[in-house]
A and B are shown apart, each in its own frame.
Chain A
Amino acid sequence: MRKKVVSILMIAVLCTMLFSACSSKGTSNESNGESVVSGNVTNETKGGVTSETEAPKHYEYSMAMRNFGPWDENPEMLVRWEEEYNADFNLVYVEDAQGADQINLMVASGEIPDVMQYVDMNKYYQDGIIGGWTEEFFREHAPNLSKYIDETDPSAWQIAKFDGELMYSIPCFRLYDTIATPVVWRTDWLKNVGIENIPRTLDEFEDAFYKFAKNDPDGNGKNDTYGLSQTGVRTIYGAFGSYRGKWLLDENGQVVYGDVKPEMKQALEYLSKWYADGVIDPEFITGENEGGYWAITHKFLNNKIGYTNMGSFYHWLPDMSQYKNGTAIGEMTAQWKNSGNTGTYAMGYAPEGPNGHKGTDQADFRKLRTVFSADLVKDQERFGRLLEIIDDMNCSSVERSVEVNRGTIGVYSDIIDFEGKKAFVAIGDAKEATSLNAFCSTMGAANTFAFIEEGGNLEYQKVAYAQQFVWADEEFKDKNNGYVSVIFKTPESRAKYGAELDKILNEGYISIITGDKPLSYFDEMVANWYANGGEQITKEANEIYANEHK
């Protein structure tokens, strides 16, 4: 009797398997074998998930997604989404640290996942591993995402078009990168040396730095303090209208590498003078961090310097437990508290130079996160359906994004009020977990279905990081000046010349600041840079700029 039941069950299972295999086979045969997808098919699958009359076809997708750790046997959220979207998501686990290598290996052995993250997109595009589709096709299958991109920054469409025509990834945005890296002052030091207001102009900065170095701001009777160190130094370039490591426009509208812009010479003049006068920490070469978490500045923490540009704004997030429902605290703030340092500090302004230039480092908030195998994209219906799923999962509503990233609302997550703003909060088991990201990962949340940056739009990210932005929106209102590269893509021959060029610049900048080489060496360095491949990358950068601004 029992045997019979089992065998009937087996037959049933086999039948379903056959059935599903057939249906997916059937659709892939229909595809016309072109890698270019035009947007006039798949009317029947349109309409989405909840439509009862025309259930969407069942498809299978293999996905190598970024995650914070391995998944459970049958991840809870995965099961839920498979049911809701009538699809099979075969998660391919890749280790975070070797993600790109592991996927390269899969590709080399011919097993290309349908959905890929981590990888060198440009290389994959050139090698024909990933597929491209038209904007029209995307707009049809991902209306929410399209609206999101249109409303946030339409220039992002172009960065996803690697050949200028077809899209190879989904443009998306990262809210964290809308705020430039912060500059931070020791306010008690400023007071001790007789400066009332936080410095704004370069002259005021210089004054404060000299007093920090010479007037014993910490009052310990020893000459053991400096104005600034490694991260402080880089903010000074911004005052002259350029920034190290960024592609910027010159006055003729040409793209130029920030390091070789002539304005830099003026900045170096200041810096080498400060170094000679003992204002810059002589150990600025080895940096402000002495091991451990990268965004901690030990020099600042241990009263060696009074000004820094370390980390991102959220590392300096104050202890939010002072507010109702508040829990977050920035890593640097936490370190400061633990160290028992009784000094005070405050966020400041980027130094404003003689010509009104100012700004600190800022990353491009436009992102590309996911690419799709050429085979998948070729299969218009299967790919179109995936875009619909992505559109719904990552961009239909804040609630959906919360569930995708943080687990089912009411079980693992909730949306509450924080200082008048909607805020995500972990509840139940998720609240007890030592690491929320790791916990969410195991059940198929966290980044498992984050096809776009943070797995949600900017509105969702405001909710997910409500505590950070309740503080930052107010604090950085008038302090948010950043230098962002004008090109998104990296020039291709950087792979060949990059190491050499960076070496020329890094060595050159340090030897000019420390006085090993005279200021006039700057011109020689720039010439050297152009001669050793800089010419070529600058040319490519201008081509990229033209392509990205079509």
Chain B
Amino acid sequence: MKGKRFKTGALLNQYWKHKELFILLVPALVFYIIFCYIPMQGIVIAFKDYKLMQGIWGSKWVGLANFKELFSTPSFFEILKNTVWISFLRLVFGFPAPIILALILNEVKHARYKKVVQTISYLPHFLSWVILAGVFQQLLSPSSGPVNAILTKFGIGQIYFLGDPRWFVFTIITTGIWQGVGWGTVIYLAAIAGIDPQMYEAVMLDGAGRWKQMRYITLPCLVPTITIILILNTGGILNAGFDQIMNMYNEGVYKVGDIIDTYVYRRGLEGMQYSFSTAVNLFKNVIGLGFVILTNSIAKKMGDSSLW
């Protein structure tokens, strides 16, 4: 008891000593309070029948009616399943991609070549999906697209990547990886740059080649970064990539490609359904938070890197 109080006192002392740093923190705190925490009270409209004229607090309480409406939507399980499945595939295939690319880039010794590769791989990130969807529609077209022309030459035959439910998810995942992989390497390359060169020197003295350096130094040093990113990514489990799918899907692939966001978007086109869409987002975020907590506790048990 006594010891603890002493400790708290020491902590406060520490705080006081570094008070300038805390003052520097104030603007950021104020920003978050004003622009993130105060508006958050608007979440209550998920439990209300929001009417413009009556305002957030004046509108009628409806309890869980908006959530019931979401769960009783006939397509709900289909869109939930699609969302989770696409997100899962993105995690399995999309998550390691930038790590691998970063490791490969790290091994490139020719500095100029490395920069060129990096720049080219970043570029797609800056193109909007509205444009990319048009590009892919032409590239992947069975009748006039170059991809299918090549496939036909190899005797594989035409594949309707964007219109065939068997291929749509594959197309979404691959094009998604292509678009995001370069940008994703930024954080890993930064982490790699922070690794102490002495470690490489030490292992080199022991006779380790390039492969073993990567295996025993680079990768283990990246693990904390990878863990954090993975935990954060699982939070978006119910965000399967609205921008991309909205621009690339069509009625023919609803069965596999219609996700929660696209469905709610189509539904929300009519009639200012603020309460309903807030309820959907709240649902998504609560599930996401659950996943973050879960993966975080797993990460904590398995190693020493975790979010908190």
**Chain A interface residues (CB < 8 Å from chain B):** 100, 104, 107-108, 120, 122-123, 127-129, 224, 281-283, 285-287, 290-292, 302, 304, 490, 492, 494-496, 498-500, 502-503, 506-507, 509-510, 514, 532
Given A123-B271, A496-B69, does the pair A107, B52 have CB atoms closer than 8 Å? yes
Q: Are A500 and B52 in contact (CB under 8 A)?
A: no
Q: In the assembly, what is the distance between CA of A290 and CA of B142, in Å?
A: 13
Chain B residues, CB < 8 A from A282: 142-143, 160, 163
**B162 CB within 8 Å of chain A:** yes
Which residue of the partner chain B has the closest CB to A494? B270
Shortest beta-carbon distance from B257 to chain A in Å = 11
Q: In the assembly, what is the distance between CA of A286 and CA of B252, in Å?
A: 8
Shortest beta-carbon distance from B106 to chain A in Å = 37
**B251 CB within 8 Å of chain A:** yes
Selected from A286, A302, A498, A532, the residue in CB contact (under 8 A) with B162 is A286
Q: Are B143 and A285 in contact (CB under 8 A)?
A: no
> Given A495-B271, A498-B267, 10 other A-B contacts at CB below 8 A?
A108-B55, A120-B271, A120-B272, A127-B53, A128-B53, A285-B250, A290-B141, A291-B137, A506-B251, A506-B254
Which residue of the partner chain B has the closest CB to A225? B143
Chain B residues, CB < 8 A from A127: 51-53
Chain A residues, CB < 8 A from B273: 495
Q: Are B131 and A291 in contact (CB under 8 A)?
A: yes
Q: In the assembly, what is the distance between CA of A123 and CA of B273, in Å?
A: 10
Chain A residues, CB < 8 A from B267: 495, 498-500
Chain B residues, CB < 8 A from A224: 143
Chain A residues, CB < 8 A from B134: 290-292
Q: Are A510 and B144 in contact (CB under 8 A)?
A: no
Chain A residues, CB < 8 A from B144: 302, 304
Q: Are B160 and A510 in contact (CB under 8 A)?
A: no
Chain B: interface residue count, which band?
35 or more
Main secondary structure of the interface of A (DSSP, over half): helix
**Chain B interface residues (CB < 8 Å from chain A):** 51-53, 55, 69, 73-75, 131, 133-135, 137-138, 141-144, 160, 162-163, 250-252, 254-255, 258, 263-264, 266-267, 269-273
Q: Are A503 and B272 in contact (CB under 8 A)?
A: no
Q: Are B160 and A283 in contact (CB under 8 A)?
A: yes
Q: Are A499 and B163 in contact (CB under 8 A)?
A: no
Which residue of the partner chain B has the closest CB to A126? B51
Q: Are A507 and B272 in contact (CB under 8 A)?
A: no
Chain B residues, CB < 8 A from A129: 52-53
Selected from A285, A291, A494, the residue in CB contact (under 8 A) with B163 is A285
Q: In the assembly, what is the distance between CA of A285 and CA of B168, in Å?
A: 13
Shortest beta-carbon distance from A268 to chain B in Å = 15
Shortest beta-carbon distance from B1 to chain A in Å = 53
Listed residue (B138, B255, B272) with the most chain A CB atoms within 10 angstroms of its CB: B272
Which residue of the partner chain B has the closest CB to A106? B52
Q: In the assembly, what is the distance between CA of A100 and CA of B251, in Å?
A: 27
Q: Are A285 and B138 in contact (CB under 8 A)?
A: no
Shortest beta-carbon distance from A159 to chain B in Å = 18
Given A107-B53, A127-B51, A127-B52, does the pair A285, B252 have CB atoms closer than 8 Å? yes
Q: Are B52 and A507 in contact (CB under 8 A)?
A: no
Chain B residues, CB < 8 A from A107: 52-53
Q: In the assembly, what is the distance between CA of A104 and CA of B268, in Å?
A: 15
Chain B residues, CB < 8 A from A302: 144
Which residue of the partner chain B has the closest CB to A120? B272
Selected from A283, A291, A496, A507, the residue in CB contact (under 8 A) with B251 is A507
User: 9 closest A-B pairs (Cβ-Cβ)?
Assistant: A291-B134, A495-B271, A499-B267, A506-B251, A285-B252, A499-B266, A285-B163, A495-B270, A107-B52
Given A282-B142, A496-B69, does the pair A108, B75 have CB atoms closer than 8 Å? no
Q: Are B75 and A283 in contact (CB under 8 A)?
A: no
Q: Are B252 and A510 in contact (CB under 8 A)?
A: yes
Q: In the assembly, what is the distance between CA of A492 and CA of B273, in Å?
A: 12
A-B pairs with beta carbons under 8 Å apart, 30 shown: A100-B272, A107-B52, A108-B52, A123-B271, A281-B143, A283-B163, A285-B250, A286-B250, A287-B250, A290-B134, A290-B138, A291-B133, A291-B135, A291-B137, A292-B134, A304-B143, A492-B271, A495-B267, A495-B270, A495-B273, A499-B263, A502-B266, A503-B75, A503-B254, A503-B263, A506-B251, A507-B254, A507-B255, A509-B251, A510-B251
Q: Are A104 and B272 in contact (CB under 8 A)?
A: yes
Q: In the assembly, what is the distance between CA of A490 and CA of B271, in Å?
A: 10
Which residue of the partner chain B has the closest CB to A304? B143
Given A291-B131, A494-B270, does the pair A283, B254 have CB atoms closer than 8 Å? no
Chain A residues, CB < 8 A from B264: 499
Q: In the assembly, what is the distance between CA of A510 and CA of B271, in Å?
A: 27
Q: Are B74 and A286 in contact (CB under 8 A)?
A: no
Chain A residues, CB < 8 A from B162: 286
Chain B residues, CB < 8 A from A304: 143-144
Selected from B75, B135, B271, the residue in CB contact (under 8 A) with A500 is B75
Selected from A500, A502, A510, the residue in CB contact (under 8 A) with B73 is A500
Chain B residues, CB < 8 A from A490: 270
Q: In the assembly, what is the distance between CA of A507 and CA of B273, in Å?
A: 24
Shortest beta-carbon distance from B145 to chain A in Å = 10
Given A120-B271, A291-B131, A499-B266, does the pair A286, B53 have CB atoms closer than 8 Å? no
Which residue of the partner chain A has the closest CB to B141? A283
Which residue of the partner chain A has the closest CB to B135? A291
Q: In the assembly, what is the distance between CA of A514 and CA of B142, in Å?
A: 16
Given A107-B52, A507-B251, A507-B255, does the pair A532, B74 have CB atoms closer than 8 Å? yes
Q: In the assembly, what is the distance between CA of A245 and CA of B163, in Å?
A: 22
Shortest beta-carbon distance from A111 to chain B in Å = 12
Q: Are B142 and A283 in contact (CB under 8 A)?
A: yes
Q: Are A104 and B52 in contact (CB under 8 A)?
A: yes
Q: Are B272 and A283 in contact (CB under 8 A)?
A: no
Chain B residues, CB < 8 A from A498: 266-267, 269-270
Shortest beta-carbon distance from A492 to chain B in Å = 8
